[in-house]
Amino acid sequence: MATLFERIVGIGGNKIPIHAIRGMSGEISRGQLSPGDVISTFGLDAAQQADLGTFLTKLSSHPDKAALSVIIFDFLALAELGILPDVYRSEQAFWDRIDAELALAAG
């Protein structure tokens, strides 16, 4: 089964639209949706659910959630479009980028 990242960027089928993830994660941060809504909407398996939990935890821990959300969306959009695939289609690069942004924000 594909990872959450692979499903979002369209590797391996059963794609999750990037706009849906961005919108739903925003609504989760505002208390309008729960992670369970994402899980049931897209039929996430256990590993994908763990990835979602990690993603939401990292997003919520950034002091400027909106800025990090834009950075994440940009990364995922470039991955989906296949632009610089050695960079943007790398799941490890995705997680590393989030961690780098968190470290930068922490000073």
Query: Which residue range forms the structural domain that includes residue 91?
Result: 4-106
DSSP string, 42-77: HT--HHHHHHHHHHHHHHHHSS-HHHHHHHHHHHHH
- The helix, strand and coil proportions of the chain, stated in percent and rounded to the nearest 5, come to 75, 0, 25
The per-residue pLDDT for range 19-73, each reduced to its tens digit, is: 999 999 999 999 999 999 999 999 999 999 999 999 999 999 999 999 999 999 9
Calculate the average pLDDT of the chain.
95
Structure confidence at residue 91 (pLDDT): 96
Q: How much is the pTM?
A: 0.92
- The dihedral built from the CA positions of residue 50, 51, 56 and 58, taken in this order, carries a sign that is positive
Structure confidence at residue 37 (pLDDT): 97
Average pLDDT over residues 70-98: 96
Separation between Cα atoms, residue 99 and residue 2, nearest integer Å:
22
Q: Tell me if 60 sits within 8 A of 24, measured CB to CB.
A: no
Structure confidence at residue 81 (pLDDT): 96
The structural domain count of the chain equals 1
Per-residue confidence band for 12, with pLDDT thresholds at 50, 70 and 90: confident
